[in-house]
Structure 1
Amino acid sequence: MDLTQLKAELQSLATKAAEIDRRRGEGAKPLFDERLFTCLSRLLSPCVAEAKSVVDTLEREKESGKLSSLRAAHLCEKLVNQLSALQREVATVSIRAKEKTFVPKTRASISQLYQDLAQHQDWERRLSDMVRDAESKLGRCDTFAEQQAAQKHLLTTEKRLARCRDAKQKIESRIAFREKKG
């Protein structure tokens, strides 16, 4: 079990997380669910550190001969879920920054509705790409644990895509109503 590439990825994530934490600051609530990260941090860096500790645990238990196949599967699944969550968070920082600046108006102008529609179309395209990537990753899984994690990621991404499409449809309906109304 060579974890060199995984450690390099975690080091890269640690650097990005530190930069994001410095720019964004501490959030109002924990970034992730307590089942995913026990640290319940409102910053990214402690979550990356927790993922690193899972890798350290894997190595330590393997070297001492105490790592059973069941324990290894559990730790690997946890690590895959943590890495996916961290990578998603890092990848969506710019989107989250825009979400904070968005203030819903009681009566948005038609131009604002078109801007919102364009934004949702962009998100839909990105999410469709993510679904295709997740489907491709699912097809390349070697172990059952990897397959389960990939399936879970695919399902989550498909749900996000469905919500995005629903929101886009509502915006399109509002535009049609406003244009009909004049």
Structure 2
Amino acid sequence: MLDFRRLEDIATQLAHEAASTDRKRGEAPRPLFDEQLFHCRSKLLVPCVNEIRDEIRALNREHKAGKLHPSRTQHVCERIVSQIQAVQRELATQQIRKNEPKRSAGWRKPIHELYQDLAQHQDWERRLAAMQRDKELMIARCTTLAEQQKMQKEVLALEGRLARCRTALAKIEKDISLRERKG
């Protein structure tokens, strides 16, 4: 049975955190999420959370009207959970992003610094992948649902960090390749 109250509570909490983050950070340079996940192509978190809330309300209305179809319900619920997890990951990584240096247009690092960045990111990638494997193994050893959910949340956060690390690695490799070709 769907617990609409619980979903609404989660969305309300996300809305508060998203508003705070949006105020501090402002718009991202590009949309935060893929259009497969969110219909809105927002550079802020609040519109994404509003989309989650709208989905929850629509599902609740269908439920109250007795018009819920099992296949649609499952699809919408999976989408809502994916959206919630994506916003939670985005919120969880704000501290990391805040500490990243900002690059101004035209600013270029010397090639030796790019190689240092590459080595650092490769090390981070290796360590994050190991941490993720360890957490995944720990999930099987969890004795309570709460422990399992906590561990799954940590795995998701690590997945997000690992994906961003790999994206940064690819960019550094591309920058090095371009610099070496130009001489």
The TM-score bracket by the shorter chain reads 0.5 to 0.7
Cα offset for 1:78? 0.9
CA-to-aligned-CA distance 1:57-82 (integer Å, 9 cap, x gap): 11110110111001101101110111
One-letter amino acid of the counterpart of residue 67, structure 1: L
Distance 1:87 1:133, change over 3 A: farther
Cα offset for 1:42? 1.2
Alignment correspondent of 1:26: 27
Alignment correspondent of 1:144: none
CA contact (8 A) 1:39 1:47 kept: yes
Q: What is the correspondence of 1:30-179 to structure 2 with a 5 Å cutoff? A: 30-99=31-100, 101=102, 105-107=108-110, 121=123, 125-126=127-128, 128-130=130-132, 133=135, 157=159, 160=162, 164=166, 167=169
Structure 2: give runs of 5+ residues left out of the alignment. Answer: 143-151, 177-183
Q: Among the aligned pairs, what percent are the same residue?
A: 31
CA contact (8 A) 2:128 2:161 kept: no
CA contact (8 A) 1:127 1:161 kept: no
CA-to-aligned-CA distance 1:75-126 (integer Å, 9 cap, x gap): 011101111110111111122334452577442667x966775576456545
CA contact (8 A) 2:89 2:160 kept: no
Q: Distance in 2 between matches of 1:7 and 1:124?
A: 38
Cα offset for 1:6? 2.0
CA contact (8 A) 1:131 1:157 kept: no
Distance 1:55 1:163, change over 3 A: same
Q: Distance in 2 between matches of 1:35 and 1:139?
A: 34
Structure 1: give runs of 5+ residues left out of the alignment. Answer: 141-149, 175-182
Instruction: Give the secondary structure class of the aligned counterpart of 2:40.
Output: coil
Q: Distance in 2 between matches of 1:119 and 1:5?
A: 39
Moved more, 68-77 or 96-105: 96-105
Cα offset for 1:29? 2.0
Q: Distance in 1 between matches of 2:125 and 2:20?
A: 24
Aligned pair count reads 158
Instruction: Give the secondary structure class of the aligned counterpart of 1:101.
Output: coil
CA contact (8 A) 1:128 1:161 kept: no
One-letter amino acid of the counterpart of residue 107, structure 1: P
CA RMSD in angstroms, aligned pairs only: 4.1
